[in-house]
Amino acid sequence: MAYCVKCGVELAATEKTCPLCNTRVILPEEMQKEERVTEIIPIFPYRNDRNTPHPNKKHFLELITLIFFLPIPVLLLCDINISDGIVWSGYAVGGIVLLYVYLVFPFLPKRANGILSVGADWLATLFYLLYVNYAVGGSWFMTFALPLVSFMMFFVMVIVLFRRYTKITNLSLTGISLLFTGMFCLVTEFLINYAFKVHETLYWSFYPALSLAMCAIVVFYIDRNATLKEKLIRKLTI
């Protein structure tokens, strides 16, 4: 026995619509049948990733090179037209080339390892600072820029060598980085005092160097203590 879902009138088994309100009769058996034959039609067509072309790394590098070097002639022409010579455009062009060297070498093929990238960054930075020193008529390149950049690149080179050729843990590498950063603060103040005669002794670099050394000791201790390290990993997700 069936009843209308709208007005409640009793319906015969053969009726397709309600005789009182003309509502369509839907039987539970028909609904189950419709659900069984209903198919899921995908919204988007099937995509075969195997046939999808992947971007070419060489073309990507060519595009990056074009984006970086396209503004260089525009800057030079503007400077020559406005200043009757190369005055300010040298700094902008040098900065673009330096940024290009920093960003493009990590995308080179695998044969260009991290040591080559660090060497290229070191040379590019020194040439740019040498140009700035020459342009402003300074005398700080040999006494300040060269030793400071060389020390910084030596530190980066050591980190790259440890990372590539040893099985050092991330925490130990972090501790070494903290120690080198403290040493970099000491070297920076020493070179500032030597090149620019600011102070006769070290004045401020001891504070960050000592703080970083204490942090490095804590990091080394955590790395050596397996139980403490496991607890910290569970609590802090290190």
The CB-side HSE value for 62 (13 A sphere, CA atoms) comes to 5
User: Quick check: is 100 in a domain?
Assistant: no
* Ranges in the chain, pLDDT < 50: 37, 111, 238
User: Quick check: is 88 in a domain?
Assistant: no
User: Quick check: is 237 in a domain?
Assistant: yes
pLDDT tens column, 147-187: 999 999 999 999 988 888 888 888 999 999 999 999 999 99
pLDDT of residue 42: 57
What is the dihedral angle through the alpha carbons of 14, 18, 19, 20, rounded to the nearest 10 degrees?
Answer: 160
Among the listed residues 9, 32, 12, 31, the one whose alpha carbon sits nearest the alpha carbon of residue 20:
9
User: Quick check: is 8 in a domain?
Assistant: yes
Tokens of 168: 């050092």
pTM exceeding 0.95: no
CA distance 57 to 55: 6
φ and ψ at 4, to 5 degrees? -70, 135
CA distance 61 to 53: 17
Q: Is the dihedral of CA 121, 127, 190, 206 positive or negative?
A: negative
pLDDT of residue 238: 47
User: Quick check: is 28 in a domain?
Assistant: yes
Provide the residue range defining the domain that includes 198: 168-238
**53 class by beta-carbon count within 10 Å (0-12 exposed, 13-18 middle, 19+ buried):** exposed
Angle at Cα 178 formed by Cα 218 and Cα 182, nearest 5°?
Answer: 115
pLDDT tens column, 137-153: 999 999 999 999 999 99
Number of domains in the chain: 2
User: Quick check: is 83 in a domain?
Assistant: no
User: Quick check: is 43 in a domain?
Assistant: no
